[in-house]
Amino acid sequence: MKYAMTLLALVLAGCASKPTPPSWQPNAKDALDGFTDDYLRGNTAAANAEFARARRETTSTGRADLVAQVELVRCATLAAALEFDDCPGFAALALDATAQQRAYAAYLAGRWEGLDVAALPEQHRAVVGTGSLATITDPLSKLVAAGALLKAGRIQPGDVEAATETASAQGWRRPLLMWLGVQQKRAEAAGDAASVEQIKRRIALASGVR
């Protein structure tokens, strides 16, 4: 996520003309990175603490669009792990958010009817048009898109598999368990007992039970 803000602070007077960012910017970025990593790995308490720090840093600016961006990072990260809570933090700021931010929130929530696709981040535009993850290479973006597809009721079996293996390759326990759960339900619906048992063993292993 990018922060659109002019850098005003300068290095010590007379030393150099290169601007240095206000401290809230790197602090917020570090906290958001920490939140994302901890959340995807299943470290809930640490993730909550990092998110609170990121929000605290951005609220110091008094700018709703910056705080809304932090909330959208949270919403997207939850969507990657198939945990949808209607993004209450963003909803409270939606009136003062940008059109692009509102479009992204609708995309994450699966509200694609009438969606302004051109306002979405570039890597997600094709997902709406094709209903596929094929064009996305970044692991987190792929999981976010998969979550949005599932929420919208448009995900295909191949993309469920792709999301599962993406989470597995990254060692992201939380989304892996959720996507394995989706696979298990589909195998049960298909009457594929062998696949159900194999998936259950994998869930036990990823959960630390086996």
Q: 115 and 142 in one domain?
A: no
Which amino acid does the sequence have at 75? C
Domain boundary residue among 119, 139, 166?
A: 119
Domain boundary residue among 119, 142, 176?
A: 119
Residue-wise pLDDT for 91-136, tens only, equals 999 999 999 999 999 999 999 999 999 999 888 999 998 998 988 9
Model pTM above 0.75: yes
- For the chain, state the CA radius of gyration: 19
Our count of domains for the chain comes to 2
Which of 15-24, 32-41, 143-152 shows the lowest mean pLDDT across its residues? 15-24
**Residue 23 per-residue DSSP state:** T
Domain boundary residue among 62, 91, 119?
A: 119
- 131 neighbors 156 (Cβ within 8 angstroms): yes
88 within some domain: yes
pLDDT band, very low/low/confident/very high, at 15 (cuts 50, 70, 90): very low
For residue 13, how many other CB atoms are within 10 A of its CB?
6
- 142 neighbors 118 (Cβ within 8 angstroms): no
Which of 2-16, 88-102, 121-135, 192-206 shows the lowest mean pLDDT across its residues? 2-16
